[in-house]
Structure 1
Amino acid sequence: MKYTQDFIEKVQHANNIVDIIAQYTQLRPTGGGLMGRCPFPDHQEKTPSFSVSENKQVYHCFGCHKSGNIFTFLRDYQGLNFPQAIEFLADRSGVPIPQEMEDDKQADQKSKKKKQLLAINKEALQFFSDNLKKSSKTSEVAKYLQHRQLTEDVIQTFKLGLALPEWDALCQHLKRKNFSLELAEEARLVKSKNRDEPKYDSKYDIFRDRLIFPITNTMGDVLAFGGRIIMTGEPKYLNSPETPVFHKGKIFYGLEQTARFVRSEDQIVIVEGYMDLISLYQHGIKNVVATMGTALTPDHGRVIRKLTQNVVVMFDGDSAGKEATERALSVLLEQDLYPRGLILPDKMDPDDYVRKMGAQELKDKIDHSLDLMNLIFKGWLVDFHGEPSEKIKLAEKLKKVLDVVPNKNYKQLYIQQLAPLMGVEKFWLMQTLSNSEGQQSKAMPEGSKTSSSSKIFGSTQGRHQILGEAEDQSQRVNQARREVYLQDEPMYRLKKATKAELILLSLAIKSYANMKLFVEEKVEEFIIHKDVKKLLQEAHQVYRQSPEKFDRLTSLLISKVDEPKLLFFNDPIKEFTKVSSKVSDSSKDDGLDAETYTSVGRIDEQQKELEEKILKDAIKRVRENYLKETLKQISHELKLGATPEKMERMMLIQKALKENK
């Protein structure tokens, strides 16, 4: 779906960033906004340094320097991408999402069906959750939870529930709530009975007498359910079949709860089962997701890629777990990720291991996990005796993995590292990998033959052709992403801007008065950094044409820059924010007294004076940098050949430099 700038702004205006952030940290009023402790898990602090501006709809932490608007907060804290954040906020505020004109009716039907399925899943979750809360402390499910040592907090965090043993308990509940059982069947909550089954109503519950694990997306929508049998029976675990809202190969269990920890740790740990994830989470290892027993897919890889490049695969230590680890390798390498692996001893699963050995022992194992290729290759070398036939078979296994690796340097390093372990020369392994495709190419027309070596290491011409095609494809994909998701990638890059330019930018867009000073000083032409100049031109346009939008200008610009924190490049001013916070903290809950109001007023006035002084100094330095750079260019030109015009221009610049001091 392509979202226009007008629609994005409409969604943004319909939501208040304070309402979102206040769910995760306590915010208290200060002289210039709201302050609280930083909610991000990688920044633990005792003194509040996290500032939220309700007027500007932005946040900035003076401790860890995270900054952004409502969209970036949902991205970094909840793991939502830009389109998901828009859809979440639109749904939250009741703003209808526009549909493409040509398939408007079909899109409306799909959207309506999706909402119906999510609604009935939500009701089912409430039913399961209430069942668990009402269950006796001596019930079998209570005994199971005690055996697993799950706390009440973790049970609530993951919204665990209980499916009753009756055949149609959920069916009857949904009927009482006026939900269609046909819709429930489409959601794979119930099934139609066969002729030889007991004579209940025409449908019965899929989940019966099971501990329920709701499967949600990062926005909290309930997509499906998993259930573990409480007593004896098969299957031990039962998962919802796929539905229009649930595609198992695209969803990780637990990501709603763990995405922020994955981002803060810059690492994701992948396990197989529900209990593996919950147990690790309870023991403090929170940057974890579960595949729900399914094979890792390219869609899974793309989900990971949006969060981090660093992956640790920790599947069960049995033979099935080892096979799943091997299958995961190609998927992760294909997405240009950096996978590491960990196989637990004695065929233990992560839940067994962390409960027996403790969290610190497992954390140490994760920290010292091996490169996944090396780990798997080590397994391949078991019972390897160096026979020629074994080397060929090993090379063929290796080729299947390396063929999908997009990073050519990565391939070369692997071959350089693995060749000695096979007892072969690097050149032989390279040649063998290329020849293994040569047998298949014999049946192909001469003009269509392309050796594997040229694909991976070969001729300069072939290499350039393949790299060129990859680059063209990458450009097409990036262009498509820009067309489909407006602002999904930054438009402006500020990393190489000077300190003076960044201070000028951050202060100019901070207030209408500061922008007025910027305009009056006519400094725009002296800005060297192109993207800083473009941003200020955009801000100037809002200042001139839509002054009523200026308060939220910073929030509108944040999604367009590569480093949002650089829009808050005003370190000297943060001291005043801290003082203001202390004044606010000293006030009572029932309001500020007259003396405190006066203190806040003085602080606000002092901050404005300081901002004006720093802004004027930044303007002076930006002019100076531009004039010095221009003077350097003219001096170079004069060396090549002096002219009266160049001499006059040089004198004018020298004069301007003196006047600027």
Structure 2
Amino acid sequence: MGGRISESTIREVRDRADIVEVVSETVPLSRAGASFRGLCPFHREKTPSFFVHPARQAFKCFGCGEGGSVFHFLMKARNLSFADSIEELAERYGVAVRYEGGGVPSRPKDDLYAMLRLAADTYRELLGSPAGKPGREFLRRRGVTPEAEREFGLGWCGTGGELVSALKRKGIDLARGEAAGLLLPSGPGYRDRFRGRVLFPISDARGRICGFGGRAADDAVPKYLNSPESELYRKSSLLYGLFQALPAIRSEGRVLVVEGYMDLIGLWQKGVRGVVATCGTSLTESHARTLKRLSENVVLFYDGDVAGKKAAVRSGGPLYAAGVSPKALFPPKGMDPDDWAKAASPEELARRIAGAVPLMESIERGASRKYDLATISGKLSYVQLMAKYLRWVTDPAERELYAQRVAQTSGLPVETIHRQVGPSGTESLPGGGAPPRINDPRPEESNLLRLLAVDPSLAVAARRDGVGDLLSGEDAREALAILASIAERATGEAEFPLGEDLPDGVRKLLSAELVLADITPDEARRRYPGAVLSLRIRRARLETEELQGKVKGATGEEASLLFDRVVAAKRELERLESERRSR
């Protein structure tokens, strides 16, 4: 296997891993504002004090003090080494582990991936063969071009046991074919799961096939049949078409979400390439976190009927919870995105997508039409419905603007709307929802470290500014030195602060600040000068108090010298406080 795991692998695994998903397998979690909350698995407690912050990729228990990254959680919960935790997550999230020695080891699931690739190749060949005529005719009726067939690797599962034969020729145990979701037991042997269906291979972000969606070419029931949940196929996490869409998403800074495979392919054929689809399920919080990592410009492009609009509203909850304010686009009533793509020109389609409206605006329009706003009962129903959805919105400016709109529509003061809505976030938990603001003996130090944790590049400036001399906590001084070293090593974006070799005290300190942080790196940079000034004021105040104490017990010349120092210290304190007031 070659030596130490490469930094690029660690970074890729961390970026792909979903810390909420990983922790949830050990700890039942409930949303608490921007974080998730549960009972700590590392000590006994009755009131939840364990928090996971998905955007910061950190966890922290404010009871026992344990905290760190997703790697540290697995190390503690499963008694793994740092390398073992990386390898386990790499296997789970489809990352090839590379070592500084250059090796790439094989993994236990590789045979399943190879089997699914063999199945996809077999299905694709069958679609082009005489036996695939029903599948080809179905695709032509639906307007799917041969180019799209090739791009998405579409296939056909016949009724003659072709896949069973292909697996036998390769010497593959058919029980493994069942484990991969390809075969079903049938008498003494096995049969193909997807007989008589057009196949849509579903891959992960690396293009590795994890499962299939099968569409009946006739009136067979069910119309759609997906792979069963397995080691590789988790429909609550996978997004169809993501591998093909990644280049367009990155270049355009936008991702469209549709509900069906055919919707996605229809849009792709009209030149709309940054599109993904859920796999026969509603959009989940795991999907939402994946979309958030791809782009904050998410457009829900669902069917234009009532069911499609309700599905878009349901999708809003997970997306807002993940920190995304989604947009919505609906085709004319009675059409789905595939129908609309066929009927519209590429130019019109691009224009409509660019003009997608915020989902919350679409919700408000629908609510205002739903009730008779000329009556008191209608206004009350409208306000109560909008309050339910406005609780999703955590961005203060966005929330205020929608509150003003609801106030204007209902004829109520905006303060009344805010009282009706209440605090942002989902339902409150016992003991409060957000991470606790603990009694901190050194709040100025914690404030500064929170800024440095959010943007480690500030640690270089802090070291240059002599901030280390202003810190009284040993862990805080060590954290500053480590963060500055991390920032100096970074070649592009700032490195993640919760690395492998952190001393326990520093790791626990920084994980707390990451979970408590509610600011962006830009905001951290803006607040940095004020945080340093607060530290200087604290030191000047402590120095003044210390000198005043010494004066009381001094006599003669010593007392005179100490008095002069007290006067100078007070002047410095006044100067610093005046500087803070003028900021």
TM-score above 0.5, yes or no:
yes
Higher helix share: 1
Q: 1:401 to 1:6 in 2, by over 3 A?
A: same
Q: 1:206 to 1:466 in 2, by over 3 A?
A: farther
Distance, in Å, in 2 between the alignment partners of 1:401 and 1:5 is 51
Whether the aligned pair in 2 keeps the contact of 1:315 and 1:321 (CA below 8 Å) is yes
Partner of residue 309 from structure 1, selected from 296, 299, 322 = 296
Report whether the alignment pairs 1:204 with 2:202: no
**By how many angstroms is 1:493 displaced?**
7.4
Q: Which residue of 2 aligns with 1:424?
A: 412
**By how many angstroms is 1:336 displaced?**
1.5
- Structure 1 alignment gaps of length 5 or more: 13-81, 98-110, 194-199, 456-462, 483-488, 497-529, 539-555, 563-661
Q: 1:534 to 1:256 in 2, by over 3 A?
A: same
Partner of residue 365 from structure 1, selected from 343, 352, 355 = 352
Q: Which residue of 2 aligns with 1:133?
A: 128
Report whether the alignment pairs 1:242 with 2:229: yes
Structure of greater Rg? 1
Write the letter of the residue equivalent to 2:105.
P
Report whether the alignment pairs 1:410 with 2:398: yes
Q: Which residue of 2 aligns with 1:103?
A: none
Partner of residue 400 from structure 1, selected from 382, 388, 392 = 388
- Residues 117-516 of structure 1: pairs in structure 2 closer than 5 A: 117-135=112-130, 139-166=133-160, 168-193=161-186, 201-386=188-373, 387-434=375-422, 492=457
Q: Which residue of 1 aligns with 2:6?
A: 8
Write the letter of the residue equivalent to 1:178.
G
- Structure 2 alignment gaps of length 5 or more: 11-88, 462-480, 497-583
Tell me, what secondary structure is at the counterpart of 1:88?
coil
Q: 1:361 to 1:293 in 2, by over 3 A?
A: farther
Tell me, what secondary structure is at the counterpart of 2:369?
coil
Tell me, what secondary structure is at the counterpart of 2:257?
strand
Q: Which residue of 1 aligns with 2:563?
A: none
Q: 1:170 to 1:289 in 2, by over 3 A?
A: same
Tell me, what secondary structure is at the counterpart of 1:225?
strand
Whether the aligned pair in 1 keeps the contact of 2:185 and 2:191 (CA below 8 Å) is yes
Tell me, what secondary structure is at the counterpart of 1:215?
strand
Aligned-pair identity (%)? 29
Q: 1:9 to 1:408 in 2, by over 3 A?
A: closer
Q: Which residue of 2 aligns with 1:52?
A: none
**By how many angstroms is 1:279 displaced?**
1.3
Q: 1:492 to 1:152 in 2, by over 3 A?
A: farther
* 1:289-320 per-position Cα deviation (integer Å, ceiling 9, x unaligned): 11123111111111111111011111111222
**By how many angstroms is 1:257 displaced?**
0.4
Report whether the alignment pairs 1:87 with 2:81: no
Kindly indicate whether structure 1 or structure 2 has the higher relative contact order, using CA contacts under 8 Å at least 6 residues apart: 1
Distance, in Å, in 2 between the alignment partners of 1:212 and 1:494 is 53
Partner of residue 96 from structure 1, selected from 102, 105, 124 = 105
**By how many angstroms is 1:216 displaced?**
0.1
User: Normalising to structure 2: TM-score of the pair?
Assistant: 0.58
**By how many angstroms is 1:341 displaced?**
0.5
* 1:121-172 per-position Cα deviation (integer Å, ceiling 9, x unaligned): 11111111111122479x2322222233333332111111111023x33223
Q: Which residue of 2 aligns with 1:506?
A: none
* 1:595-630 per-position Cα deviation (integer Å, ceiling 9, x unaligned): xxxxxxxxxxxxxxxxxxxxxxxxxxxxxxxxxxxx
Write the letter of the residue equivalent to 2:104.
V
Tell me, what secondary structure is at the counterpart of 1:129?
helix
* 1:459-504 per-position Cα deviation (integer Å, ceiling 9, x unaligned): xxxx9977999xx9xx9xx99xx9xxxxxx98657999xxxxxxxx
Q: 1:466 to 1:150 in 2, by over 3 A?
A: farther
Distance, in Å, in 2 between the alignment partners of 1:343 and 1:536 is 45
Write the letter of the residue equivalent to 1:297.
T
* 1:418-461 per-position Cα deviation (integer Å, ceiling 9, x unaligned): 22223433122222233999xx99xx9xxx797xxxx9xxxxxx
Whether the aligned pair in 2 keeps the contact of 1:135 and 1:142 (CA below 8 Å) is no
Whether the aligned pair in 2 keeps the contact of 1:309 and 1:337 (CA below 8 Å) is yes
Whether the aligned pair in 2 keeps the contact of 1:340 and 1:370 (CA below 8 Å) is yes
Tell me, what secondary structure is at the counterpart of 1:355?
helix
- Residues 480-629 of structure 1: pairs in structure 2 closer than 5 A: 492=457, 557-558=491-492
Whether the aligned pair in 2 keeps the contact of 1:216 and 1:254 (CA below 8 Å) is yes
Q: Which residue of 1 aligns with 2:83?
A: none
Q: 1:536 to 1:268 in 2, by over 3 A?
A: closer
* 1:220-252 per-position Cα deviation (integer Å, ceiling 9, x unaligned): 111000011112212221111211111111111
**By how many angstroms is 1:378 displaced?**
1.4
